[in-house]
Amino acid sequence: MSSRSTAERPVPAGHTSPPPRVTAGADRLTPLDASFLYLERPTERLHVGAVAVLESTPPFEDLVAALGERLGGLERYRQVPVRATLDVAAPRWQPDPAFDARRHFHRVTVPAPGDETALRRTLQEIFARPLPADRPLWECWCLEGLAGGRAALLTKVHHCMIDGVSGVQVLEVMTDGWETRLGAAPLALAEAPGPVRQLGAVASGVAASVGRVLDAVAHPRRAIADVRAAATAAGAVLDVVGRRLVPFPFNGRLGEERRIVWATFDLGEFLAIRGAAGCKVNDVALAVIAGALRRLLPVEATRPPRRVRALIPVNVRRDDEHLRLGNRVSGMFAALPVDVDDARERLRVIAAEMRANKEAGQGRVFDLALGLAGVVPSVLAPMLSRLPQWWPVAHTVCTNVPGPREPRRLLGRRVLEVHPLVPLAAGIGLGFAILSYAGTISITATADASLAPDVDRLPEALRASADELALHLGVRGVARRRHPPHAAAVTVGDLMTRDVVHVRTTELLAIAWKTMRERRIRHLPVVDRHGGLVGLVTHRDLLAASPSSLALHDERDRVRGFGWATAADVMESHVSTAAPDESAADVALRMVRQKIGCVPVVDARGVLVGIVTEEDFLRWSATLLAGYGRRADSREIGDPR
């Protein structure tokens, strides 16, 4: 493998420049962001990443110039985290006085034959290397020499800078036309000067606190119920964490070598499984992973009641925090039922547990724990961050992030595939990242070479697990049918409703419920502040999120039952969408196959412009059938037509 770097002043191996001095007024890292710095070890490199496969190889100099300008425009990408002496204070972000974007770009030639195996071997070697500590903690590698003239772009970014959702947002910035998609906006709070950003955060916190206090005064019983629910959820989480884990073969002391594998699936089929089972796409992905692990693990490791405890990060970023980097996540636990033989039952168990954990408020307990971490004395923070190494809380990590729905281009070249990469730490030798992109969904695994030596068998196991699930649920029986020419001429834009009722991610479920009842609708698209579609809330989601109808006396009880839950808490973020000029017949068949009741319509920027529902297609079908009937009657009376 040969490599070349654009660095004008190469840094000798093992050499780092003195860290910049902390200056007054610099931004502090949040406790969660700082924890990823504290966890860094020679065998535990805490950077995340992604590999994007391009249809052809771009000129390297042009790539450096374009991406250097785009990424260099993000404040965090020009800063370095600086730890105080003996960690007596929280780390702070400092501008890199010698910042030069060219130092962050490298190129490498993948050995012949340039197939997927050769690509993965090259990725594994690069991803295992530490990020240079004398500059902002990110780098990009252009991997050339792939079969068919293709190339791949590998990005490595330290976890203290981004999480999965903000990483996808940065990916959007890297690709062509991001200004048009995101919209030209004035200086965002995310990139505002430190004092402005801090003032905005304080103002938002004060407003939220005042709102909670006023609501508690007006509804004391609800406040008491919320406190009891939070206490119950905290007790349940502590009960789970308090039980020491019995390790699986992929848990233990980590080495330095990594293995990276992936399997890519048709997102439409995952949506069809979701529709047939009445669950979430994330539940489907977890069931596929559980089935694959059952195939790989020794028989004795899959006997009841052995289950793989997975930590599931949950995004809590508000839509007004777009491109505000750092980690804005909560989390939940899920017990992957590797002891269950039936694929349909595995999915049912996972979906039921995830729904119960959400209703119990597991995510809010994690939020509370992270908030309490902010008041811990800084000198104790590194020690607390290492607690998971001494007392493991999960066997694996499964993170799921929705990516761009439409294909993206980089320097005019189409991005064919995107595969996310997760780091390994705290004795977890196998981690999973799930990312949807342009009608596909990738399940990528990062593994420790010594703890999971047979990980090369995982892609086949994942595909076999997905096949089994699809066959058990009967989602492969709907074939594409030819439709009459006049039907093909009708587009989604001809049928869709343009004045779409929608909500924001922060909208309370109680408001969403009332909106659905008043408008007599069953689907509510969820949009961000720019009108971009981010998810969908259905009537079924709201029924699942509220107590049983049998336990409720009237409508007011149901509304109160939603509590502080918002649209973001229950929405499906992997949504089947259509373009206005798409064939209505094709979309109708897709709805039948995926067992869904609506399809939001978006433009090229991802902005919601309409929606088509079962009722729209029923009305259209009735018109077609009426037309067939009139033509048949005309033929019977001798009409020459």
**pLDDT number for residue 381:** 63
Question: Taking CA 341 as the corner, what is the angle to CA 338 and CA 343, rounded to the nearest 5 degrees?
Answer: 90
Question: Taking CA 417 as the corner, what is the angle to CA 411 and CA 422, rounded to the nearest 5 degrees?
Answer: 110
Q: Where are the domains of the chain?
A: 25-178, 218-245+255-473, 485-630
Written as one letter, the residue type at 327 is N
> At the top level of CATH, which class does the domain 25-178 belong to?
alpha beta
The chain-wide mean pLDDT, for the chain, equals 81
Q: Which CATH number fits domain 485-630: 3.40.710.10, 3.10.580.10, 3.90.1170.50, 3.40.50.720?
A: 3.10.580.10
Q: State whether residue 341 is helix, strand or coil.
A: coil
Least confident among 325-339, 352-366, 621-635? 621-635
**pLDDT number for residue 373:** 56
Q: Please tell me the distance from the alpha carbon of residue 522 to that of residue 537, in angstroms, as a whole number.
A: 8
Sign of CA dihedral 280, 281, 282, 285: positive
Q: State whether residue 317 is helix, strand or coil.
A: coil
Dump pLDDT digits (tens) for 469-511. 999 998 875 444 455 555 557 899 989 998 899 999 888 888 8
Left if phi > 0, otherwise alpha if psi is -120 to 50, otherwise beta: which for 233? Answer: alpha
Topology annotation, domain 218-245+255-473? Chloramphenicol Acetyltransferase (3.30.559)
Q: Please tell me the distance from the alpha carbon of residue 233 to that of residue 565, in angstroms, as a whole number.
A: 14
Residue in this structure with the two tokens 């959400």, named with its chain if needed: 358
Q: Please tell me the distance from the alpha carbon of residue 425 to that of residue 423, in angstroms, as a whole number.
A: 7
pLDDT of 549 over the 70 cut: no
Region 250-273: mean pLDDT is: 95
Higher pLDDT, 174 or 557: 174
Residue in this structure with the two tokens 């979430």, named with its chain if needed: 280
Do domains 218-245+255-473 and 485-630 share one topology? The answer is no
Higher pLDDT, 529 or 459: 459
**pLDDT number for residue 4:** 46
**pLDDT number for residue 241:** 58
For residue 51 the two structure tokens come to 């590999």
| Closest-CA residue to 335 (of 370, 311, 367, 363) | 311
